[in-house]
Amino acid sequence: MELPGVELANGAAFVREFAITLPVDSEGVINAMAERGFLAGISLTGDYPDLPRNMVIAVTEKRSRAELDGYVTALKEVLAHG
């Protein structure tokens, strides 16, 4: 499922962790996702102040398809409400 305004931060291959670029500040998204019960990822702002819209997401085999779909749905809602 694609999310408008969300892109992979780079084209490198990945296994469980990947960085994305959001259309808004990543820390605000992480906080809003936490309110919905999701640990959304880690903002890169602390280590890379010039990347305020980037965050790293980790996904393991312990997550079900339903959990991943729920994450994407919540992220879509968060992004729609700025």
* Domain interval for residue 66: 7-80
User: Confidence class of residue 27 from pLDDT cuts 50, 70 and 90?
Assistant: very high
Mean predicted lDDT score pLDDT of the chain: 93
Q: CATH code at 27?
A: 3.90.1150.10
For the full predicted model, state whether its pTM sits above 0.75: yes
Number of domains in the chain: 1
What's the CA gap between 66 and 48, in Å, rounded? Answer: 32
Residue 2 placed within a domain: no
SS3 for 19-69 is EEECCCCHHHHHHHHHHCCCCCCEECCCCCCCCCCEEEEECCCCCCHHHHH
Closest CA to 79 of 53, 61, 46: 53
- Residue 59 pLDDT > 70: yes
Residue 35 placed within a domain: yes
